[in-house]
Amino acid sequence: MIVADTHAFIWWAHDRNELSKTAKAALKSADQILISAITGWEIALLVEKDRLWVGTDPLIWITDALARTQIEVVPLPIDAAVRSVQLRQLRDPADQMIVATALDLGLSLVTSDKRIRDSGLIETIW
């Protein structure tokens, strides 16, 4: 199992050429790819702020992408939500909650986010 950051999920579902070779191979070989429920919130927020265009209602796009990729959504556990605020190296709340979710699950995170990769908080794949 492996956790995909928001952009990794978007690229896996929409444009796999955006992924690094290592990330693509890790996602392809994973027996299960997971995303945090916070990823849905982050996608909707990016669409609302015109920083991401998905061509339809974000919920429709996400639901379709999940069905096509067979990625599973995991809820944000309460203990991970609480601990996420301690991840001060990551200023973005979505990043904090996604990393906290992966930590809670004991899984690696597929991400191109340099701040997350450089933080040393979690094993990352890119």
What tens digit of pLDDT does each residue of 84-99 get? 999 999 989 999 999 9
In order of 10, 35, 80, 86, 102, the CA distances from 95 in angstroms are 15, 12, 12, 12, 11
Every domain of the chain and the residues it spans? 6-125
The model's pTM = 0.93
- Within 10 angstroms of residue 21's Cβ, the number of other Cβ atoms is 8
pLDDT band at 42 (very low <50, low <70, confident <90, very high): very high
Q: In whole angstroms, what is the distance from residue 14 CA to residue 8 CA?
A: 10
Q: In whole angstroms, what is the distance from residue 60 CA to residue 79 CA?
A: 29
- Within 10 angstroms of residue 41's Cβ, the number of other Cβ atoms is 16
- Residues sharing a CB contact under 8 Å with residue 6, sequence separation 6 or more, in sequence order: 35, 39, 42, 43, 94, 98
- Residues sharing a CB contact under 8 Å with residue 9, sequence separation 6 or more, in sequence order: 35, 39, 65, 69, 71
Residue 98, pLDDT score: 97
In the three-class reduction of DSSP (H, G, I as helix; E, B as strand; rest coil), residue 42 is classed as: helix
The correct CATH number of 6-125 out of 2.60.40.60, 3.40.50.300, 3.30.565.10, 3.40.50.1010 is 3.40.50.1010
